[in-house]
Structure 1
Amino acid sequence: MKKFFLAIVVLTSLSCNQNQKKEAPSNDIIMSEPDGGIGDGAVSPAVAFAQDIEQAHNKEQWNTQRAVSFNIDLSFGGKKQLKGKITSLTNSSRIRIDQEDGTILVYDGEGVYLCPKDADSNRARFNMFTWQYFFALPFKLTDPGTNWEIMEPSVIDKDTFYRGKLTFDDTIGDAPDDWYVVYQEANSRLLHAAAYIVTFGSNKEKAEKNPHAIVYRDYKVIDGIPVATKWTFHNWSMDEGIQDQIGEASISDIIFFNAKSELFDRPENSKSIEK
């Protein structure tokens, strides 16, 4: 997943104090597609598709907010995968996850850290960036290093959804070979779904044999910003599209706030997560 990318009010921990880090600047917007634009500084139809989704989600208002936090309750195949609170700066340059079991994950802009040191690090880096990215996706579609191409619309239960394919430059995130097929609702213009592959810890050829999709549901407007409060995960294929459900997540207690920098400092009694 992207970084993800390819996730609060400060939750206290007896063993997890923090040290202050320098904050990263906001990203500039880069608008591109694999075959380039259409000349004279005009925005290509593919980039216009991505911009239209961002506009429908009120990205301008999103960018005025410093940070956002939300609770997540995530399960796949009936098994709990993650429950806790995710906080990030809205530009995704800092992320923190406070899990229900007391473990803390922090991305301070340079490295990923897990507290306490003896906590299970399996999929820690994946969790660090993936779920925050899914939450922030409608506002990151024209981030630096994003590339777009238009696809044929899709009809689902007689409803038409516009589609575009998102790929990334080689230098972007932990898994630049990831790609997304993004679905836009025709009437609301909001993000409906995103099919994706997961190349983190794998390779593109293998990942493309097992693509999935996230569907965004039950939108609520928080401080003028439409945010999905339910996600469902599905099997997906280029021919069949969105198929049977395999997982779900509930998103609650969404709060925009002015986070203090030290919230994202590396905790004491933590270990670095490289992979």
Structure 2
Amino acid sequence: MKYFLLLTLCLFMACKPNSENNSEKPQAEKSGVTATSYPETFQKILDAHGGLDTWDTYKTLAFTIPGEPVSETQTIDLHSRKDHIQRGTASLGFDGEQVWLHDPENSYKGNPEFYHNLMFYFYAMPFVLADPGIIYEKTEALVVSDTSYPGLKISFEENIGSSANDEYYLYYDTETYQMRWLGYTATFGAAEKGTGINYINYSDWMPVQDLILPKSISWYAVEEGKPTVPRNTVNFTEPSLSPEARAETFYSKNGQIESDL
């Protein structure tokens, strides 16, 4: 699938960013299972997209990514982060303990462990950047077509997830505080940080229930460390949010096999 091959290539590009090392002091506190404080700027960005408290009321997120030869539907438990992807006759997911693939026709050619939650994290921006174990710092503004977008650098505490060396750069609109760009490095668990930043443009938003989520996102070509022209766009259709959780079997390989019988 075209977008999958491109994303795989993009995510294995390494990076070492230029940024100011000015930590922004947390000023807002989240209530929930894990109490986490956020910088005031990041809190405003979350609020511009509907608010973290609202996001936390939902348990299930689903969306479709149109594609050829088949589209895929992704469903995620937002609290446990279990997931399920359906691509034609193939399905894959994470059951809370391990990544699985059910592919009776041997049609899936990707890496399930790498891909199962990849698009969810890009789609669920900026809310996934409020996860525990994240460090926020001010960073140099990104200038694109003579417009300056202030930003935050997001890095991870040690032993957080499988790629603690990954770094993200969230750039936002100064008037609306909506997210406009995401810069990122991806190490996929490598011991060293990357050496190049990839950029995604977030300018196409849509209301989903009472939140603002992407309608599409576009990867940009990069020249001299700056995004230049779009090179690939991923569209999202049929988004849904529910306060109800799906059955545990929905996220398991055994549950998928049983449903095929």
* Amino acid in the other structure paired with 1:113: W
- 2:56 equivalent to 1:56: no
* Amino acid in the other structure paired with 1:138: P
CA distance in 2, matches of 1:233, 1:71: 18
* Amino acid in the other structure paired with 1:50: F
Deviation at 1:137, TM superposition (A): 2.2
CA distance in 2, matches of 1:251, 1:240: 28
C-alpha RMSD over aligned residues: 3.1
Deviation at 1:48, TM superposition (A): 2.1
Q: Which runs of 5+ in 2 are unaligned?
A: 1-10, 12-20, 30-36
CA distance in 2, matches of 1:92, 1:233: 28
Cα–Cα, structure 1 residues 227 and 65, in superposed 2: closer, same or farther, change >3 Å? Answer: same
Residues 24 and 137 in structure 2, CA contact (< 8 A), matched pair in contact too = no
Matches within 5 A, 1:241-256: 241-256=226-241
SS at match of 1:173: coil
CA distance in 2, matches of 1:139, 1:221: 15
SS at match of 2:139: strand
Cα–Cα, structure 1 residues 66 and 46, in superposed 2: closer, same or farther, change >3 Å? Answer: closer
Cα–Cα, structure 1 residues 42 and 245, in superposed 2: closer, same or farther, change >3 Å? Answer: closer
Matches within 5 A, 1:27-176: 38=25, 42=27, 47-58=39-50, 59-73=52-66, 83-91=71-79, 93-99=81-87, 101-116=88-103, 118=106, 120=108, 122-176=110-164
Cα–Cα, structure 1 residues 189 and 49, in superposed 2: closer, same or farther, change >3 Å? Answer: same
* Amino acid in the other structure paired with 1:91: H
4+ aligned runs moved over 6 Å, structure 1: 34-37
User: Which structure's relative contact order is higher, taking Cα pairs within 8 Å and 6+ residues apart?
Assistant: 1
Cα–Cα, structure 1 residues 145 and 85, in superposed 2: closer, same or farther, change >3 Å? Answer: same
Residues 213 and 233 in structure 1, CA contact (< 8 A), matched pair in contact too = yes
Give the TM-score normalised by the residue count of structure 1: 0.72
**Count of aligned residue pairs for this structure pair:** 228
Residues 161 and 183 in structure 1, CA contact (< 8 A), matched pair in contact too = yes
Percent identity reads: 21
- 2:186 equivalent to 1:198: yes
* Aligned position for 1:229: 215
SS at match of 2:116: helix
